[in-house]
Amino acid sequence: MNKSYAFLALLSFTTVLGSCSKDDSTPTATATVTNLTATVNGAQQVPANNSAATGTFTGTYDSNNKQLAYTVTFQGMTATSAHIHTGAPGVSGAVAIPFASVTSPITGTVTLTADQATQLLNNGMYVNIHSNTYANGEIRGDIKKK
C-alpha cells in the first residue's frame, strides 16, 4: 500500500512540475531593420531641373533604437548644403535632419522621433543637396524602402 501512495505522490509531483512550464505564447518585441534607398538627381527636384549631378542615398532604420544610419554620395556638383527633408514625392517640405558635412560621402546616424520614423517609412522624406547654381536644391532623392 505504501508503494501506491508513493506512486501517487510521484505522479502528482510531476504533474505540478509540468504545469509550471514557461508560457511561450507571449510575443516578444523584436527590432525591425528596414533598408532604405534613393536615387538622387535633378529630375526629382521641385521644380525639376536639368542638372547633370547625380547621387545615391542608402540607409537603415532600426525600430528598436529608433536610429537612422545613412550614407549619401554625389558627384557632378559643388554642394553648399545638404539635408533630409520631410515631404512626399513631388512635394517640398521642411528640413528634418541637417548634415554636418557637405563632402561626399556624407555619413551619419541620427535618432528619429516617432513622427519622423512614420514619415520615413511611408515615403515621406527625401534627401536634398543644394549648390550656388541651384540655391533651393540641385538634386533630390525620395527615400523609399528597399
Residue 4 within a domain: no
CA distances from 120 to 83, 87, 115, 125, 142 (A): 14, 9, 9, 5, 10
Residue 25 within a domain: no
Q: Tell me the sheet residues that pair with 96.
A: none
pLDDT exceeds 80 at position 30: no
- What average pLDDT does the segment 94-113 reach? 97
Residue 83 within a domain: yes
The domain tally of the chain equals: 1
Q: Which domain range does residue 69 map to?
A: 33-145
pLDDT, residue 27, reads 52
What's the pTM? 0.79
Residue among 38, 39, 40, 42 nearest 138 (CA): 42
